[in-house]
DNA sequence: CAGTGGTCTAGACCACTGG
DNA sequence: CAGTGGTCTAGACCACTGG
């Protein structure tokens, strides 16, 4: 290829990059309902022709919409409009999904007794190397994976916890079996990029956005009974937070 | 250009895309402290040579790190390591920034009396077309813009509100002038892509990630006294949430 | 004026899938 | 086997800035 020749476009829109203009146009079509959830978008090569751009530019426009959670791509099938995000109230995954009339899922990935690393020990307020129960679960709604949840519990507080039922609400399980009642929770939330492993587990693209919720749960007497790191698919979830204001 | 010729790389790493491999390597250098905040990264054209890739691929690696909030770019100066994210406790911007030993800022963008749109009316629990005070402020820490905050108040609850001091904590102002005390807040949080306007106001890149916090604040007698839409720079902020659990 | 990142081209080859 | 998105090349021109 030699010199880049600008095609005879109008000179008016010189400021707005082509990929943003195309993204805008497709976004409009989705917002207006011309395209419904799971409807296919035009193939990338068609978008190139329609908008008179190269494929890299058309792809860039789609990547913008993908990062907004408006579309999803399948390498062999095409590009499609996403379903609306799932609303989750903070702190009760199963309950929230059920309320929305969907089927909550909790697939156990692993569970084991560990000796606490310094980070986990500090979070739980126990001695380093003390025994903790750790488990990882993939949380889903109607079979769609939404979050990967890794939780830690001091073993002395909930002895034999891992032998129980780990397929539902763990708070309910803990209250029922050990009489331990949850009183307060602290969480830090940030947007991260999903690494290759996480992306694969969540069925998302590597380097796409995730919501990392690092949280601690306390009993009425102020003891930390749970330390958790939850990673949500940022494109599929919105979080609802209710809170009393302590002034 | 004619046929693409693969250079004599090792065949081992055929699976991992080049842009992820390069991103990984740079991420490591930042995490390990070889590169400090505000240190420059190598120019893109140097990365091309060092890693034997085209510029598009080198740029893609940097874009991954940028979306993680690890680096920032300046079109004329280069690419640099970001400072750590600012931690914000939900619901008290000024207070949180001060606690971190930094200077909170609230630059008034506009303020006016409006008649409530259906959306605002529903959120505030008032009649459509009732008068509301609306204002928009750019919140910053040590001069760095972190959030754009748009808030709405029922005019009958806080008459003359806009004539007061709008440069600090609005909750404090409202309590002091009108004796209205905040009791409870509800928020919905989601990750969005910043549109051109928002990105410009926040000094971020178009289509980069933002955190949209849509929230309502209630008085002790259950009246909604504030409806707000706050957009944070997702790459610069982490949110802290404290909450009693109501079981 | 040299150097920087931002946008864009016109292709290439790949793996994978579904008819 | 046709069609899809995923990765990548080897360039181009641009605006802008700081010495």
| Partner-chain residue, chosen from A182, A190, A242, that has the shortest CB–CB distance to B85 | A190
The mean pLDDT value of chain B amounts to 91
Residue B83: pLDDT above 70? yes
pLDDT per residue as tens digits for the range A129-182? 999 999 999 999 999 999 999 999 999 999 999 999 999 989 999 999 999 999
What are the chain B neighbours of A206 within 8 Å (beta carbons)?
20
Low-confidence ranges of chain A (pLDDT < 50): 1-13
| Partner-chain residue, chosen from A182, A189, A196, that has the shortest CB–CB distance to B247 | A182
Q: What is the pLDDT of residue A13?
A: 46
Contact, B199 vs B209, CB < 8 A? no
What are the chain B neighbours of A187 within 8 Å (beta carbons)?
240-241, 243
Indicate the pLDDT class of residue B246, thresholds 50, 70 and 90.
Answer: low
- Cα of first residue to Cα of last residue in chain B, in angstroms, is 66
3-state secondary structure of A190: strand
Q: Residue closest to D12, CA→C1'? A: A4
Count of CB pairs separated by less than 8 Å, A with B: 137
Token pair listed for A102: 């969907």
A235, closest residue in chain B (CA to CA): B191
Whether A217 sits inside 8 A of B245 (CB atoms) is: yes
Q: Residue closest to C8, CA→C1'? A: A57
- Show contacts of B140-143: CB within 8 Å, 24+ apart: B140/B104, B140/B105, B140/B106, B140/B107, B141/B86, B141/B97, B141/B100, B141/B102, B141/B103, B141/B104, B141/B105, B142/B102, B142/B103, B143/B103, B143/B105
Q: Residue closest to C6, CA→C1'? A: B75
B192, closest residue in chain A (CA to CA): A68
Cα dihedral sign, B157-B161-B166-B168 = negative
| Partner-chain residue, chosen from B20, B175, B191, that has the shortest CB–CB distance to A206 | B20
DSSP A137-180: EEEEETTEEEEEEEEEEETTTSTTGGGS--SS-HHHHHHHHH--
- Cα of first residue to Cα of last residue in chain A, in angstroms, is 66
Please report, rounded to a whole number, the percentage of residues in chain B having pLDDT higher than 70: 94
Q: CA-CA distance, A141 to B125, in Å (whole number)?
A: 32
Q: What's phi and psi for B155, nearest 5 deg?
A: -65, -30
Q: What is the pLDDT of residue B9?
A: 38
Chain C: bases < 7 Å from a protein Cβ: 3-13, 15-18
Q: What is the pLDDT of residue A35?
A: 95
CA A25 to C1' C11, whole Å:
26
Q: Residue A147 contacts by C-beta under 8 Å, 6 or more apart in sequence?
A: A93, A138, A139, A202, A230, A231, A232, A233, A237
Q: How many angstroms separate the CA of residue A82 from the nearest CA in chain B? A: 14
Q: What is the pLDDT of residue A246?
A: 63
Q: What is the pLDDT of residue A141?
A: 92
Please report, rounded to a whole number, the percentage of residues in chain A having pLDDT higher than 70: 94
- When scoring B90, B241, B242, B246 by the number of chain A Cβ atoms within 10 A, the one with the most, hence best to mutate, is B241
**Range in B3-12, B13-22, B115-124, B237-246 with the lowest mean pLDDT:** B3-12
Residue B98: pLDDT above 70? yes
Residue B5: pLDDT above 60? no
Q: CA-CA distance, A194 to B189, in Å (whole number)?
A: 19
DSSP B112-164: EEEEPPHHHHHHHTS-TT-EEEEEEEEEEETTEEEEEEEEEEETTTSTTGGGS
What are the chain B neighbours of A247 within 8 Å (beta carbons)?
171, 175, 181-182
pLDDT per residue as tens digits for the range A158-170? 999 999 999 998 9
pLDDT per residue as tens digits for the range B133-168? 999 999 999 999 999 999 999 999 999 999 999 999
Contact, A210 vs A233, CB < 8 A? yes
What are the chain A neighbours of B235 within 8 Å (beta carbons)?
191
């Amino acid at each position: 290829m030699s010199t880049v020749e600008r095609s005879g476009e109008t000179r008016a829109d010189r400021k707005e990059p082509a990929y943003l203009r195309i993204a805008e146009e497709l976004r409009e079509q989705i917002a207006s309902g011309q395209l419904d959830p799971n409807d296919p978008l035009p193939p990338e090569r068609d978008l190139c022709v329609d908008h008179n751009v190269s494929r890299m530019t058309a792809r860039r426009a789609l990547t913008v919409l993908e990062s907004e959670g408006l579309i999803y791509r399948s390498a062999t099938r095409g590009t499609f409009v996403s379903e609306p995000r799932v609303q989750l109230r903070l702190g009760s995954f199963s309950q929230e999904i059920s309320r929305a009339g969907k089927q909550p899922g909790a697939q156990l990935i692993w569970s084991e007794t560990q000796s606490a690393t310094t980070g986990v020990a500090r979070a739980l307020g126990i001695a380093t190397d003390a025994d903790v129960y750790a488990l990882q679960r993939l949380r889903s709604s109607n079979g769609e994976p939404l979050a990967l949840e890794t939780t830690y519990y001091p073993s002395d507080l909930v002895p034999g916890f891992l032998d129980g039922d780990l397929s539902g609400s763990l708070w309910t399980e803990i209250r029922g079996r050990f009489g331990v009642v949850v009183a307060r929770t602290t969480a830090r939330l940030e947007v991260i990029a999903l690494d290759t492993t996480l992306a694969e587990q969540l069925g998302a693209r590597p380097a796409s956005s995730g919501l990392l919720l690092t949280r601690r749960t306390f009993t009425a007497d102020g003891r930390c009974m749970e330390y958790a790191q939850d990673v949500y698919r940022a494109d599929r979830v919105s979080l609802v937070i209710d809170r009393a204001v302590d002034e």
